[in-house]
A = this chain, B = another copy of it.
Amino acid sequence: MVSSSVSLSDIANGDLPGQQVELGREQPLKLDCGIEFGPFTIAYQTYGALNADRSNSVLVCHALTGDQFAADQHPVTGRAGWWDIMIGPGKVIDTDRFFVICSNVLGGCLGTTGPASIDPATQKPYGLNFPVITIGDMVRAQTMLIDHLGIDQLFCVIGGSMGAMQVLEWASKFGDRVFAAVPIAGAPRHSAQNIAFHEVGRQAIMADPDWCQGDYLSQGKRPRRGLAVARMEAHITYLSEAALHRKFGRRLQEREAVTYGFDADFEVESYLRHQGSSFVDRFDPNAYLYITRAMDYFDMAGEHDGVLGNAFRDTKVRYCLVSFSSDWLYPTSESRTVVHALNAVAANVSFIEIQTDKGHDAFLLDEPELHKTLSGFIDGAARHRGLS
């Protein structure tokens, strides 16, 4: 593996490995906020080959800080793709059988148009002039990509965390274009606690004077410390108390005794500081604001007079929901709410809560029960779809 080769500003200037497509030039994207948006760019990666009748595609939806490089090297960090463990020849999402698509979400910072992109109207970065987007907007942008790729129906839409929200949105709004849906560690709406944690992260970014009211790119600055604090806070919510205890406990960082100071005496402090400082190199602070806001606005029942089942009425999609017992960010109760709503409309749904102490991030990790569950569901769905 080589070291990183491009920076976020290279990417904002269009210097990005992988595929990009301009969409919405003739027919702009109608955003939930009312704005007609376009043209815009979607950056995406594909793995495997589309079969003759275009029926074997799997859309992988990424989480808040994920990106399209699900199964190949990240262009900035040089690290393996965030779902490399799941996608590849012979893996759970088998690229020998499936045509896998993963696109950077609208509002993102890795090639898809977002607040760090150049606004054609001003030739300067959008900054806070970027419209506030929703999970629904992200998904409608993805439908335009799927149209561009000439695919009528996706065999499967799958993703964890914010990815699961996109999966649910796909199944609800574009059910005839989805054969199977796999929302992992997700929720049908953002809870008060979820919103609260996001708001603290946003305030940390906006409190940094280098944020410059969102105009840091034009002013040659970058709210590094604010974004690092936001990431540190969020990272705690991705793990469980048990996982933190197992990984770190109260162990000291390369020292025999506490130093009676504010250095990182404890391993967990050192780990969190590293999580914060490494994140700022690969993520745009305004993108963090916009994407967390999109998640906060997500409320499927709210869009349907408070009745979640109405979001899935007459659905023909096959669902497999997965939650993790130690996930306190999107706890099992959230997935169960979706399952009950799907049951109420007689949907084809299976659900498993996987026992693990790894917390929310378990969907990214080597969790054998998760892999076994997904393999079984995908194989079964593929048989029903007539895919060998």
Contacts and interface: CB of A to CB of B under 8 A. Distances in A.
A191 B245 CA distance: 7
Interface string A245-266: 1011110000000101110111
B236 A196 contact: yes
Given A196-B269, A268-B196, A296-B266, A203 B276 contact: yes
Interface stretch (A60-68, A206-214, A348-356, A361-369): A206-214
A225 interface: yes
Nearest to A264: B199
A200 B225 CA distance: 11
Interface string A290-332: 0001001101001000000000000000000000000010010
Contact of A262 (B202, B207, B239): B202
A190 interface: yes
A21 B196 CA distance: 41
Contact of A297 (B33, B199, B258, B272): B258
Given A272-B199, A296-B266, A193 B244 contact: yes
Contact of A225 (B195, B196, B207, B272): B207
A2 interface: no
A271 to B, nearest CB: 8
A289 interface: yes
A75 B224 CA distance: 38
Interface string A9-42: 0000000000000000000000011000000000
Contact of A272 (B200, B226, B249): B200
Given A189-B250, A192-B248, A262-B202, A236 B197 contact: yes
A144 interface: no
A226 B208 CA distance: 8
Question: 10 tightest CB-CB pairs across the interface, nearest first?
Answer: A207-B225, A33-B260, A132-B260, A192-B244, A192-B248, A193-B241, A199-B269, A192-B268, A200-B232, A200-B233
Nearest to A246: B192
Contacts of A338: none
A206 B293 CA distance: 26
A273 interface: yes
A3 B200 CA distance: 29
A289 to B, nearest CB: 6
Nearest to A34: B260
Contacts of A272: 196, 199-200
A164 interface: no
A204 B273 CA distance: 12
Given A132-B262, A191-B250, 11 more contacts: A191-B245, A192-B245, A192-B249, A192-B266, A193-B241, A199-B273, A203-B228, A204-B207, A207-B208, A207-B228, A265-B296
Nearest to A209: B209
Interface string A353-383: 0000000000000000000000000000000
Given A196-B236, A296-B266, A273 B132 contact: no
A196 B267 CA distance: 10
Most buried by B among A207, A236, A273: A207
Contacts of A265: 296
A301 to B, nearest CB: 10
A249 B248 CA distance: 34
A17 to B, nearest CB: 32
Given A195-B266, A299-B250, A207 B226 contact: yes
